[in-house]
Amino acid sequence: MRQLFASALVLALVSTSTSGLRANEPAPKDIVDTAVAAGSFKTLAKALEAADLIETLKGKGPFTVFAPTDEAFARLPAGTLEALLKDKAKLTAVLTYHVVPGKVMAADVVKLKEAKTVQGQSITIDTSMGVKVDNANVVKTDIVCSNGVIHVIDSVILPK
């Protein structure tokens, strides 16, 4: 009887500990901290700081961010990034064009043809060959954060 009780207790503990976050595990990081920790979004973090958007994207949200990598920023025409970093209004418009209000997971993105951004315009979504937002390929999806989700893109998208 004692062995049966011990086995039941072990089974209960194992199923409880694997059903979600364990009590001693940290909660997911917010969008900004997640991007910084990834190491491939240094330019995005620098731009968010220059536009005073860090606190916004650390806020409650939820937000969906189509995050361009450092390589994506490097592919902008010469001088574009430098000019944006000097023009806070344009930089803010470009960055908020990468953000959609709400938490839109990949399974939801593929059902859409467009999505309205925080900037005010809509990005187009094409799922005919992979997933594209405007002219950028989505290369990684569903990076869940405490205040939303990040989808990684290979190009910087610009408002029309």
Grouping H, G, I as helix, E, B as strand and the rest as coil, residue 68 is strand
Residue 147 domain-assigned (yes or no): yes
Range of the domain at 32: 28-153
Strands 148-153 and 136-145: antiparallel
Residue 22 has pLDDT above 70, yes or no: no
**CB half-sphere exposure, 46, CA atoms < 13 A:** 13
Cα 112 from Cα 27, distance rounded (Å): 30
Residue 126 domain-assigned (yes or no): yes
CA geometry: angle at 159 spanning 156 and 160, to 5°? 125
Residue 78 domain-assigned (yes or no): yes
Tell me the per-residue pLDDT of 104-127, one tens digit each, with 9 for 90 and over.
999 999 999 999 999 999 999 999
Token representation of residue 67: 């995050």
pLDDT reported for residue 26: 58
Residue 65 domain-assigned (yes or no): yes
pLDDT reported for residue 117: 97
Residue 120 domain-assigned (yes or no): yes
User: In a 10 Å sphere around its CB, with 0-12 CB exposed, 13-18 middle and 19+ buried, how is residue 55 labelled?
Assistant: exposed
- Answer for the pair 62, 25: CB distance below 8 angstroms, yes or no: no
Residue 89 domain-assigned (yes or no): yes
pLDDT reported for residue 148: 96
Q: Is 143 left (phi over 0), alpha (psi -120 to 50) or beta?
A: beta
Tell me the per-residue pLDDT of 85-110, one tens digit each, with 9 for 90 and over.
999 999 999 999 999 999 999 999 99
Residue 97 domain-assigned (yes or no): yes
Tell me the per-residue pLDDT of 53-82, one tens digit each, with 9 for 90 and over.
999 999 999 999 999 999 999 999 999 999
DSSP 8-class letter at 59: S
* CATH at residue 101: 2.30.180.10
Residue 18 has pLDDT above 60, yes or no: no
What's the total number of domains in the chain?
1
Residue 13 domain-assigned (yes or no): no
Which pTM was predicted?
0.82
